[in-house]
Amino acid sequence: QVQLVESGGGLVQAGGSLKLSCTASESIFSRNMMGWYRQTPGKQRELVAGITSGGSTNYLDSVKGRFTISRDNAKNTVYLQMNGLKPEDTAVYYCNRVPNVYNNWGQGTQVTVSS
């Protein structure tokens, strides 16, 4: 089973930046579209950003212009650079395949943005 490990979250003030990383236990990124998802209590997990095997990206409207997804296939790692963070970005962030997610989600990484 693929193992996904997210890191890089933390507590920042509004307007600040964080860079999240997600490392997989095997080489999956080069042949799959990967994405960053986020979830807050009581809400469904939502896809924030995705990157295809060819490098094309797409973003949730609310993060366009602020977040950038990228990947390093050699390191089995996908990143999410988050700038201009807002309190509404507060959530647990996960990475996974898009759209057919792996059943075993990672533990996620908490991002908290204070106003």
Interval 10-55: pLDDT, tens: 999 999 999 999 998 878 777 889 999 999 999 999 999 999 988 9
- Map tokens 């209590």 to a residue: 41
β-pair partners for 12: 113
**pLDDT for 79:** 97
CB 50 within 8 A of CB 35: yes
CA 23 to chain centroid: 11
Distance CA 77, CA 75 (A): 5
Least confident of 41-45, 57-61, 64-68, 73-77: 73-77
- Given the DSSP bridges, would you call strands 18-24 and 34-39 parallel, antiparallel or unpaired? unpaired
**pLDDT for 28:** 79
- Given the DSSP bridges, would you call strands 10-13 and 18-24 parallel, antiparallel or unpaired? unpaired
